[in-house]
Structure 1
Amino acid sequence: MDPARSLAEAQPTPYWLDDPGRPQAAPALVGDEHCDLLVVGGGYSGLWTALIAKERDPSRDVVLIEAKEVGWAASGRNGGFCAASLTHGLANGLARWPGEFAKLEELGSRNLDEIEAAVARYSLDCDFERTGEIDVATEPYQLDELRAAAREAAEHGVDLEFLDRDQVRAEVDSPTFAGGLYDRTGVAMLHPAKLAWGLKRAAAALGVRIHEHTPATALTGNGTGMAVRTPYGRVFARRVALGTNVFPSLVRRVRPYIVPVYDYALMTEPLTEDQLASIGWKNRQGLGDSANQFHYFRLSADNRILWGGYDAIYPYRGRLSADRDQRPETNLTLARHFFRCFPQLEGLSFTHAWGGAIDTCSRFSAFYGTAHAGRVAYAAGFTGLGVGATRFGADVMLDLLAGERTERTELEMVRTKPMPFPPEPFAWAGIGLTKWSLDRADRRAGRRNLWLKTMDRLGLGFDS
């Protein structure tokens, strides 16, 4: 079968957002508003911040503004992997914050528990399933890496189970799988857009005033508070929380720390019972392979397979454009890889193909800070881990705005920044060389060249 045929009827739109239950947008802000807390951005970061702010203090007057519609960007386009890890995994956490790794694991686990509790408390209809995730090896050298990771995890009290070839294929059957590393409790699967829409509904029910189609165009001081300009009015707020992530920050000094990287995904038509039985995917875990250029894949509630990843495209000068949400050459690459992984599903078609930008920073996990004498807080750089970690980031921003010393604000991870990216054309050249080197490492049994080894020593060991 020609993989291109499987894409013939794929709609160029995110599957998650193509939903008749999508809520109507709230009216745009017109005129001036006054509030205690203004939240800028209607993705997970802003929604969790607004909701938790009202949970902490129901009397607090909170306004949230969103440039387009709630959940339309990364929060409605991702794979729906909601991870406990705040550090982008064991290796990255131990390499960067070995002294506080145990505390970060504890806080991450608690954060995932709190997300699960909020799903129940607010009846968030987002297909939440705490099914875990398996990292699979598709090359022999990756087996050694997974065994070593399992041993290191055990030494630090992290429960990761090594699976041999037969064990992993008993979970999900692909001829390409040689082994796996199973995190049974630290990852949940969910419908990402429905989570955003549910958080919008819950926040509004608590009294948050939400305005969509209301971009923030300028941020300035205003006496003891702040003023944010929008096309049709202004918001005067005592405090401001920025959840704009991949989009240019209203605090200009934050911008060099983030680059946008475009990621792409496909969604299949629903599998029949026979098709699902042919791959044996009974326990509905999320999966990802262990290459530098990796794929992530999972089942939806109606037994479609989401298949994403591999290509990560950096636009020159970091320019964001809706035109980049589609990339046919990547769609074709992903389709070829899908049928190599699951040849028993030959003839299956894809119904949706889409992309979106991820806010990427050089340490692969979020960073935090304040501006304007502590009246503005920000969290950004989640690097594909934002489905879960944005809730933790919301707590951090609210702690910082309150001027509180908490177990979160005392973390080295919260108190420090990643290395900023260099100006163009050096960022373009460096990211391009890194991508080339990662592809070469995948083709040479994982052997990292001098460039990657140098990046590792600088703490810039890109692995995706």
Structure 2
Amino acid sequence: MDHLTSLRDAEPTPFWLDDPDRPQGTPALTGGTTCDLLVVGGGYTGLWTALVAKERDPSLDVVLIEADEAGGAASGRNGGFCESSLTHGLHNGLDRWPDEIGILERLGRENLQAIEDTVERHDIDCAWERTGSIVVATEPYQVEGLQHEAEVVARYGGNPVLLDTEAVRAEINSPTFLGGLWNKDDVAMVNPARLAWGLKRACLSLGVRVFEHTPALSLDERGAVMTTRTPYGRITARRVALATNAYPSLLRRHRPYTVPVYDYALMTEPLSERQLASVGWRGRQGFADSANQFHYVRLSADNRILWGGYDAIYRYGGRVRAEHDQRHATFATLARHFFTTFPQLDGVRFTHAWGGAIDTSTRFCVFFDTSHHGKVAYAAGYTGLGVGATRFGAEVMLDLLAGERTERTALDLVRRKPLPFPPEPVRSIGIGLTKWSLARADLNEGRRNLWLRSLDRFGLGFDS
């Protein structure tokens, strides 16, 4: 079957959100209200912030507002890789915070376990599977790098398993796989939308007041409190946590620190027993390849294959628009790559094709700040690895709002912000040149050109 034919019936909507058990939205805020803590944004960062705040102090009056519905943006449409890394991978963290990386890795593993404990404590039905993830080599030059990667991961407390060609294909059968590195402990697979919905339900059960379809229009300081205007009312709060991520911040001076980059994914129909047997995959791990322009891939609970990544698209001006969620050229590319990786699945059709914006920062992981004399805290910039790290981000924001010096707030990762992105048109030119250079490196055995080496030298480099 032609790879384009496989897309013929694909629904232009995120698979995870196309769920008959999707909960009903809560009513919008009408009229004014007051609270101790206002959380702006109903994705993972906001939901975790509200939940952890109530767990720390059940008497706290917490309000969460969301412009759409909880989990409707990046939190409900990602790949569902919940990783322990707080720094978008060990190497990115090691390059930027070598003196702190041991602490960061430990805090990340503690954070992942805390997420699992929350899923169990609140009985969140999100298909949580602690299966780990495999980095696969698809080019000969990438195989050698896996050995070095295994040594570094083990040095900082990981439990990596190095796989040769036969071993990796015994786990997931693809003729393109030449080797693999299985991180068995530090990654869980999850249904991302159901995780968001479960966190929302947990928040409501603890007394958080959640108002959906309630965008925040402004943020102003009025003496000892902050006021936030919404379409039908005004909220007065002692503290505010901003969790808007890829969307424009209510704090204008923070906007240059993130840009929205669009990522895309496909979901197949459920595999038959014969099709699944042809792939193997009894361990149900997620996997990603080693290229700069990489794919991320996993099985759903009903044995569909999610196939995402590769293209990362920035739109001039950095506007987040619903029409950007569809990009047919990328879907065609992804379908072609899918059947190259799994030729034994010829004839499989895709049922869903979608995209969404990622809040990208120049250091490729979360950063923090406060404003308005410490009454407002902000976390953003997860760069596509926020399913797990958002809970850590929530804890940091709550520490900052409380004015507490903790192990978390003492970190350089927390105390220092990344470099901002330049204004247009320099921003688009730089992002375009970087993407072109990364693609060239993939075709040149990973060798980085002068532009990428210059970014590395200034602390702006990244390998994916």
Q: TM tier, shorter chain?
A: over 0.9
Name the residue aligned to 2:271: 271
- How many angstroms does 1:154 deviate by? 2.7
2:352 aligned residue: 352
Q: In the TM superposition, what is the alpha-carbon distance from 1:400 to its structure 2 partner? A: 0.3
Q: How far apart are the structure 1 equivalents of 2:146 and 2:93?
A: 16
Whether 1:255 aligns to 2:255 is yes
Question: Is the aligned partner of 1:410 residue 2:403?
Answer: no
Distance 2:153 2:18 in 1: 39
Aligned to 2:62: 62
- Cα distance in 1, alignment partners of residues 72 and 176 from structure 2: 34
Q: Which residue of 1 aligns with 2:122?
A: 122
- 1:290 paired with 2:290, answer yes
* Offset from partner CA, 1:90-114 (integer Å, 9 cap, x none): 1111100110111001100000000
Judge conservation of contact 2:131–2:283 (CA < 8 Å) in 1: yes
Matched, 1:376 2:376: yes
2:403 corresponds to 1:398: no
Asked if 2 retains the 8 angstrom alpha-carbon contact of 1:31 and 1:233, the reply is yes
Superposition deviation, residue 156 in structure 1: 3.1
Matched AA of 1:141: Y
- Contact 1:434–1:462, Cα closer than 8 Å, also in 2: no
**1:83-232, aligned counterparts within 5 Å?**
83-232=83-232
Q: Secondary structure at the match of 2:221?
A: strand
Post-superposition CA distance 1:244-294 (Å, at most 9, x none): 000001111111110100000000000011100001010100000000000
Aligned 8 A contact 1:225 1:236 in 2: yes
Aligned equivalent of 1:452: 452
CA distance in 1, matches of 2:407, 2:157: 20
SS at match of 2:314: coil
> Counterpart of 2:374 in 1: which secondary structure?
coil
Task: Please tell me the residue identity of whatever aligns with 1:386.
Answer: G
Separation in 1 of the partners of 2:120 and 2:91? Answer: 32
Letter in 1 for 2:437: S
Q: Please state if 1:233 is matched with 2:233.
A: yes
Superposed CA offset, 1:214-262 (max 9, x none): 0001000022010000011110000000010000011111111101000
Paired amino acid for 1:454:
S
Normalised by the size of structure 1, how large is the TM-score?
0.99
CA distance in 1, matches of 2:80, 2:238: 34
Cα displacement (A) at 1:153: 2.3
1:44-55 counterparts in 2 under 5 A? 44-55=44-55
Mapped to 1, the partners of 2:150 and 2:69 lie a distance apart of 42
Answer yes or no: is the 8 Å Cα contact 1:69–1:213 preserved in 2.
yes
- The 4+ residue runs of structure 1 with deviation greater than 3 A are none
Letter in 2 for 1:29: L
Amino acid at match of 1:399: D
SS in 2 for 1:203: helix
Q: Give the secondary structure class of the aligned counterpart of 1:3.
A: coil
Query: In structure 1, how many angstroms separate the alpha carbons of the residues matched to 2:33 and 2:338?
Result: 50
Is this contact kept in 1: 2:285–2:298, CA < 8 A? yes
CA contact (8 A) 2:218 2:230 kept: yes
The answer to whether the 8 Å contact 1:376/1:401 transfers is yes
| Inter-partner Cα distance in structure 2 for 1:155 and 1:111 | 20
- Counterpart contact for 2:97–2:413, Cα < 8 Å: yes
**8 Å contact from structure 2 (residues 158, 185) kept in 1:** no
Q: Secondary structure at the match of 2:100?
A: helix
Partner SS, residue 317 of structure 1:
coil
Helix, strand or coil: the match of 2:82? strand
Q: Which amino acid aligns with 1:72?
A: G
Q: 1: CA distance between counterparts of 2:154 and 2:376?
A: 40
Whether the aligned pair in 2 keeps the contact of 1:297 and 1:308 (CA below 8 Å) is yes
State the AA in 1 paired with 2:220.
T
- In the alignment, is the contact (CA less than 8 A) between 2:105 and 2:156 conserved in 1? no
Equivalent AA in structure 2 for residue 419 of structure 1: L
1:385 aligns with 2:378: no
TM-score, normalization: structure 2? 0.99
The one-letter amino acid paired with 1:247 is: Y
CA deviations over 1:31-53 (Å, ceiling 9, x no partner)? 10100000000000000000010
SS at match of 2:220: strand
Cα offset, 1:158, TM superposition: 2.7
- Post-superposition shift, 1:148? 1.2
- Report 1:32-43 matches (<5 A): 32-43=32-43
Distance 1:271 1:204 in 2: 37
1:35 and 1:61 in contact (8 A); partners too = yes
Contact 2:158/2:186, CA 8 A, preserved across alignment: no
User: Residue 2 of structure 1 aligns with which residue?
Assistant: 2
The count of residues paired between Structure 1 and Structure 2 equals 464
| 2-structure distance, mates of 1:49, 1:248 | 19
Alignment pair present for 1:438 and 2:438: yes
CA distance in 2, matches of 1:166, 1:222: 65
Structure 2 gap ranges (5+): none
SS at match of 1:98: coil
What is the distance in 1 between the residues matched to 2:69 and 2:157? 41
CA–CA distance in structure 2, aligned partners of residues 374 and 27 of structure 1: 30
Return 5+ residue gaps in structure 1 as ranges: none
Query: For the residues of structure 2 that align with 1:95 and 1:68, how far apart are their CA atoms?
Result: 37
Paired AA for residue 186 in structure 1: D
1:419 Cα deviation after fit: 1.1
SS in 1 for 2:355: strand
Cα distance in 2 for residues equivalent to 1:90 and 1:389: 13
CA-to-partner distance for each residue in 1:320-346, whole Å, 9 max, x for gaps? Answer: 111100001100000000000000000
Q: By how many angstroms is 1:162 displaced?
A: 1.5
